[in-house]
A and B are shown apart, each in its own frame.
Chain A
């Protein structure tokens, strides 16, 4: 049970942090190998690229859980509570619809990758496998979105679902680029 609970809390975060660490190590190895040992590493660029995509999708799922995605809530918050709640229902429904659409089209896309396999130039791995992250990522995001509603309902269905209500400064978090 403990393991499951930990995974529920930290699964995406852990995978994302691991992917980010691999990216950093791959990039620095490329520099060191070229400059210090005068050899060219063939695997670093592809490895880093795959990890980047996985890190983004895992991070995106983490962002659903942590209410970190960029969304504009000024309009919703200026509405009366009931109206605002219905509006956010609609918004989340649209979001869920997009996730379902993405799972569906990613499935079709992966089917094409499976039918016409291609292999990455330096690692030689079948492109199908890393790209399964599309279905996994949008699947996780959908699950996390439903989870926020379950928690919201369990906690008395007050305020707006999927919002941080503890401090006044809601949802609109820092996004650093």
Chain B
């Protein structure tokens, strides 16, 4: 009997989530021999990203791609991946998600929330942009009104960088940037192109301060409907899709940045990161101290994976 898996996401069909989803769909249907039918539901059609996690807990949606910072309200430990400069480089990140830390996160998340993490997905760096000036040193961040998602860690990070963070809902963001209510913001590189922010944000700053993860989750209701064999096949499909897509994205990010400079007319700067990393470490420490032992332990596990 064919089982339908409704997988939602908040971005358009041809976005990164949509492409990741398409690979997952193909692999799942291949591995399960067509017994699991993945249906991708783009553009907030079945639930917004903010509500997607809850929808999986309720069992109204079977799977969802959710940016990590939108998981934090439901599972505060997720904020470790939101910490600035928590991953030293792409290899470190890969070791974390594929290793015991990744396994620990999956198990703990399932226990605390009843939601399965199928794949961490590609690592997307958030690139910073603004309309005021090129940023070459941390001093250039001073006083810039920066839109951030409503996430305490992100707010604290931009404060530590010397900017003036303004929490704004995504729905208000394009307008606020366009009219100059805020001076800038940060997003996954592709978003800057897809949302045409380059039209009114002349300065592109490569800080790689946040890794924006868009993991694929699945509801317990759905996973329980599967046979043991199907469950293994779906999980394998998710992991393989994640790896395959990460590879694609890695080369692409640099292409998009080039595009933003040549076609989009943005001025790119690659500031020295030492000051930013130092500021980020104070944020890491203060957040960890605030969140308690469990959080500190996880940060330590991640740091240990760097060696």
Contacts and interface: CB of A to CB of B under 8 A. Distances in A.
B150 A121 contact: yes
Say what secondary structure dominates the interface of chain B: mixed
Nearest to A43: B167
A132 interface: no
Interface residues of B, number: 21
A121 B164 contact: no
Interface in B129-152: 145, 150-152
B3 interface: no
B167 A118 contact: no
B174 interface: no
B150 A122 contact: yes
A87 B114 CA distance: 46
B57 A121 contact: no
B152 A121 contact: yes
Interface in B71-95: 72-74, 76
B3 to A, nearest CB: 23
Contacts of A152: none
A112 B113 CA distance: 10
A122 to B, nearest CB: 5
Interface of B: 54, 57-58, 72-74, 76, 112-114, 145, 150-152, 155, 164-167, 169, 181
The 4 lowest CB-CB distance pairs between A and B, nearest first, are A121-B150, A40-B166, A118-B74, A118-B73
Given A40-B145, A42-B155, A116-B57, 18 more contacts: A34-B145, A34-B166, A38-B164, A40-B165, A45-B167, A46-B150, A109-B58, A112-B57, A112-B58, A113-B54, A116-B113, A116-B114, A118-B73, A119-B76, A121-B150, A122-B150, A122-B152, A127-B73
